[in-house]
Structure 1
Amino acid sequence: MAEDWRKWKTPPGGTGNEFDNAEIGALAHLYRGEVYRSTMWRTRLDATTNWSVVTLGIALSVSYADPLTSALPLLLVGILIVMFLILESRRYRYFNVWRARCRWIETNFYAPLLLRSHRPDPGEWQDVLARDYLTPQYHIGFWRAVGRRLRRNYMWILSFQAVAYFGKVIVHPTPLSSAQEFFARMAAGPISGEAVLAALVILHGAWIWLAIYTRILDKRAHGAREGVSGMG
């Protein structure tokens, strides 16, 4: 019967005391591979952020090109930005796996190697890393990933989109003179201005709440960095 790897505390055949030269070399190559994968996924994250910025820039150019131009492009681009946010959050969950492994090796292998000037001993950190390779899994949930991308990039993009939209409504084609005119300008076809305003308040209120709430979850999750969950 095959041995159950879930019960391993040190690699079969290993000394359990310290890494030999071959094992240190293998771990160094492993680290290089994880750095490469995290770099590639980081590039994918940057791509979706760039798409959001570019589409927002196009919407700004179209809406502000002429005072008589509708503010609708600035409203619709918000849907695209949310779609890019969802896509980037899914990518971030993959990126976070490689990033966390790199950081785990840095803090538990390379840092002791530099500080103590001798080979780091295998220990619990090694078991955690081995289990993460044997049973790969996401280190964070989808909504926490959304919250992280919001706090990093998209809170600024969505805020700028909201300011640009309301600025367009307020100043073009002429400065506002009444609340009725404000709601009339916000109307989108058969959708009343009041309904559009309510939808925007809900959308922006939701992402602000999500950014704050997931920040609290991150602090709770990493208050005690133990096991695979502590890697992310």
Structure 2
Amino acid sequence: MGAIAHLYRGEVYRSTIWRTRLDTTTNWAVVTLGVALSISFASPEASPIPLVLVGILIVFFLFLEARRYRYFNVWRARARWMETHFYAPMLAEGDLHLEEDWQRVLANDYLRPRYHVPLMVAMGRRIRRNYFWILLIQTLAFAGKIAVHPTPAASVDEAIRRADIGPLPGELIAAMGALYVLAFGAIALWSKRDDLARSRRRGRAKSDSMG
């Protein structure tokens, strides 16, 4: 009992540390977007290019945060497993229900550690939690920049022409922006469906895995 208690405390501690690391990458994305906004809106003549280039950094930070989330989820899942299969039955019934083999599942996870969620699911979860709002601000800021600076655009065609970046026409930039937004949205929706499917599977039968 004492060993399990110390083990649980260790898993909670590790999940807390990795949760802090998740906040760090989100902060990096917010700060870099803020810098891009400051540069692009510093004057009416300022270029909107920083709002485009910051998208590369946002994708990088999202990928990095998804990797960190997979580590965090390992410790979180183990702590949650002990809460639901050890502490809750002990408190409610005074019985550990060892016949359900939950302890073997936990032991196997220590013997053969693995990620509990795929990378794309982790990315989708982080998009839904944080990066949706970062993406929304970036998209609205870019659209607003080319619509009002240096003067209010008289037509959609004029706004698209302002999106030109060197030899790249505004139509191509707009298409790439639309693909960028759709890709984020598709990953978020797919991960949501995957999470719902996982929840339904856990509800229909006794789960033999964590995560």
Q: TM-score, normalised by structure 2?
A: 0.94
Alignment of 1:199-214 (within 5 A): 199-214=176-191
Equivalent position SS for 1:69: coil
2:45 alignment partner in structure 1? 68
Mapped to 1, the partners of 2:52 and 2:171 lie a distance apart of 14
1:140 alignment partner in structure 2? 117
Equivalent position SS for 1:170: helix
Mapped to 2, the partners of 1:63 and 1:224 lie a distance apart of 48
2:208 alignment partner in structure 1? 227
Q: How far is 1:119 from its partner? A: 4.6
Question: One-letter code of the match for 1:26?
Answer: A
Mapped to 1, the partners of 2:192 and 2:147 lie a distance apart of 34
Alignment of 1:121-140 (within 5 A): 121-122=97-98, 123-140=100-117
2:84 alignment partner in structure 1? 107
For structure 1, the residue ranges without an aligned partner over 5 or more in a row are: 1-23
Mapped to 1, the partners of 2:187 and 2:167 lie a distance apart of 30
Q: How far is 1:110 from its partner? A: 1.1
The more displaced of 130-139 and 214-223 is 214-223
Q: How far is 1:60 from its partner? A: 0.7
Question: One-letter code of the match for 1:146?
Answer: M
Q: Does 1:187 align with 2:164?
A: yes
Equivalent position SS for 2:117: coil
Mapped to 2, the partners of 1:106 and 1:151 lie a distance apart of 26
1:12 alignment partner in structure 2? none
Q: Report the number of matched residues.
A: 206
Mapped to 1, the partners of 2:160 and 2:137 lie a distance apart of 21
1:161 alignment partner in structure 2? 138
Mapped to 1, the partners of 2:55 and 2:48 lie a distance apart of 12
Mapped to 2, the partners of 1:57 and 1:193 lie a distance apart of 24
* Residues 1-35 of structure 1, C-alpha deviations (whole Å, 9 max, x = no match): xxxxxxxxxxxxxxxxxxxxxxx110000000001
Mapped to 1, the partners of 2:141 and 2:102 lie a distance apart of 49
Structure with greater helix share of residues? 2
Equivalent position SS for 1:140: coil
Q: TM-score, normalised by structure 1?
A: 0.86
Equivalent position SS for 2:201: coil
Mapped to 2, the partners of 1:224 and 1:108 lie a distance apart of 18
For structure 2, the residue ranges without an aligned partner over 5 or more in a row are: none
1:19 alignment partner in structure 2? none
Mapped to 2, the partners of 1:131 and 1:224 lie a distance apart of 21
Q: How far is 1:210 from its partner? A: 1.2
* Alignment partner of 1:87 out of 41, 50, 64: 64
* Residues 104-163 of structure 1, C-alpha deviations (whole Å, 9 max, x = no match): 1111111112222x2523232111111111111110111111111111110111111000
1:120 alignment partner in structure 2? 96
Q: Does 1:175 align with 2:152?
A: yes
The percentage of counterpart residues that share the same residue type is 56
